[in-house]
Structure 1
């Protein structure tokens, strides 16, 4: 086994060709697009070094669309149905633009062209999610030695529909306080107020809220065990399902006020077949409707002269309150059930930047105050 490289000029750019012999059979490895002869030589030398170590470049074309689907099947096994739909959305985007184009033929410019086309009439969050899926998949292709580098790196995301402003997604501390007390005053009016209370004080996802049973509440330790979800729309499997990821299976500490109210509720709650807390016999999915919960929240916020947000916005509100009170982002990440702290940081960059400025001033004041008064 040996490699022998030659450099050719193709127009204004250069390419290398490596004559690769294995068991008496010669195969050629070519790569072009280099801006200088030296750049092509350096890249060829790297490939030759790998060949010398017994690392054989992947010569057989690997279709991008099938490789992505195989990657999802192998490495994204224990994910929630809703998350799987996001990966399927990315698969369709790959199929529509790249089809069965081999990974080996896709360059950074090709991928940038894809981002530019895909991002038209798309929101920032959509483009970011699709790009993150593809980038992780392509990184695996690099590790599998199918391609030499990740062509998604050093590209620029493009989108034309701006994401909703962060400040519109959550309530500030004063607004949260008003809502909290208003909910407490209305708990006797129905189960809908209880789910809003718990959404605000726990930060749970809606599918986690409606998947709760009384057994998940521990009134001795004031904790709630989050270990399942419930399908509340047609995009989710019916009935109980797994949490979004392994990190979402968690135990969270709760305040005494919320737990006291739920302890009272359970003493009067009528039993149901699935033992659900937020059971609704008239609902299609047998739990409190997300749509109706949003309407109830909107009605309450308008009555308080607060701009409406969704129930999911209460999850953002919960995290924002904790971060603004100096709670560590690592704790917030685990409490929310995020897969990693980077996810939390991405969602709350606006807050962490504000906290950075506050902490910067506090750091300076600490040392300014160290000098003892005489």
Structure 2
């Protein structure tokens, strides 16, 4: 039962509560009218009835997100961490000092609309993903009771890259692999493996000879190597715990690497893509991109980046009807939602094909 007291020009509520057999009432004042105090008290009583401990302390969104990053994301890798820190800076610019409890769905949608005016839809999606994860943990902690990110609409003013610029077709992939059937440079091996494994660049340059199991044709992925100034130098953890995995490789790829190991010297790190002259001791992402661009251009194929090899790998598997769950696990995605969002265009195309199969199948049965 709540009681209400007028203190000067404002109203205060007191909600009765017992904690460990002792009276521990909840009080809060500063309401302009008694009605406002009654509404607030009613919400507190409703939470208590549901077994929820009310969180009355205002939590500035920027501070909460920063603390959340330290507590819930302590092991994220360099590039991923940099993206989260960019999100933090954006939150500081817009919501500095604003309690997370005061942010409504309307306020958040307005923020996303403004943010997307100078960015692509994909960029808007990334910051929304970061904030949504934070908000859901705030709900679990009892700080929030409503997910203000649920059902928001994502837009973007800057056109994203066309999908065909991000990955190769099946026919183009076959041509590229045939081109590198007899690789002559270390970058050729990396491009080949990037296409046949779908690994991230940091995972590729973090591979050691011990990660290749030539008896089972398996590749062990449990670390990455820092190849930019934003990343921790040397070996580091994978992007997330789901990225620790073992994947099967085709026999041709494994044979090429077995031959490479037999005829080339090892190094103190055991790295497959070790380069003594490189600042980071491994093949440079920029250099690999240049080799890949030149190769594809000479083949009259629209160039893609080294990361595009990963998209190509996933796209081919999906078009070949590999399970979305298998593809997600093979890529080391944190969850199935990530895979669905990245390859929604392919999934929709396959769904359209499934519709045609379903219709034709039952038309035949009826006929």
1:71: how far off? Answer: 1.4
1:204: how far off? Answer: 0.7
Partner of 2:350: 355
2-structure distance, mates of 1:339, 1:171: 24
Partner of 2:243: 248
Q: Give a deviation string over 1:348-370, Cα, whole Å, max 9, x none.
A: 00101111111222233444556
Q: Give a deviation string over 1:225-282, Cα, whole Å, max 9, x none.
A: 1111111111111111111111111100010111111111111111211111111111
CA RMSD of aligned residues (A): 2.8
Contact 2:328-2:335 at 8 Å conserved across structures = yes
Of 255, 273, 282, 1:278 maps to: 273
2-structure distance, mates of 1:267, 1:305: 34
2-structure distance, mates of 1:340, 1:78: 17
Partner of 2:64: 67
Q: Give a deviation string over 1:55-84, Cα, whole Å, max 9, x none.
A: 443222211111111212221123222212
When structure 1 is superposed on structure 2, of 200-209 and 53-62 the one drifting more is: 53-62
> Number of aligned pairs?
354
1:303-314 paired onto structure 2 within 5 Å: 303-314=298-309
2-structure distance, mates of 1:113, 1:265: 55
| Pairing 1:317–2:312 present | yes
| Pairing 1:263–2:258 present | yes
Of 123, 148, 151, 2:145 maps to: 148
1:41-190 paired onto structure 2 within 5 Å: 47-52=44-49, 55-185=52-182, 187=183, 189-190=184-185
Of 234, 247, 265, 2:229 maps to: 234
Contact 1:18-1:30 at 8 Å conserved across structures = no
2-structure distance, mates of 1:29, 1:108: 25
2-structure distance, mates of 1:308, 1:26: 64
Of 284, 287, 290, 1:289 maps to: 284
2-structure distance, mates of 1:163, 1:232: 26
**Relative to structure 1, is the Cα distance of residues 216 and 55 closer, same or farther in structure 2, using a 3 angstrom cutoff?**
closer
Q: Give a deviation string over 1:22-63, Cα, whole Å, max 9, x none.
A: 55867347999xxxx9xx999975543323456443222211
Determine helix, strand or coil for the equivalent of 2:117: coil
Contact 1:20-1:29 at 8 Å conserved across structures = no
1:156: how far off? Answer: 2.7
Structure 2's unaligned 5+ residue stretches are: 5-10, 18-22
Determine helix, strand or coil for the equivalent of 1:119: helix
1-structure distance, mates of 2:187, 2:144: 53
1:160: how far off? Answer: 1.8
| Pairing 1:224–2:197 present | no
**Relative to structure 1, is the Cα distance of residues 218 and 361 closer, same or farther in structure 2, using a 3 angstrom cutoff?**
same
Partner of 2:209: 214
| Pairing 1:27–2:51 present | no
**Relative to structure 1, is the Cα distance of residues 176 and 52 closer, same or farther in structure 2, using a 3 angstrom cutoff?**
closer
2-structure distance, mates of 1:53, 1:314: 50
Contact 1:3-1:21 at 8 Å conserved across structures = yes
**Relative to structure 1, is the Cα distance of residues 3 and 145 closer, same or farther in structure 2, using a 3 angstrom cutoff?**
farther
2-structure distance, mates of 1:42, 1:368: 59
Partner of 1:3: 2
Determine helix, strand or coil for the equivalent of 2:181: helix
1-structure distance, mates of 2:126, 2:229: 22
Determine helix, strand or coil for the equivalent of 1:120: helix
**Relative to structure 1, is the Cα distance of residues 42 and 59 closer, same or farther in structure 2, using a 3 angstrom cutoff?**
closer
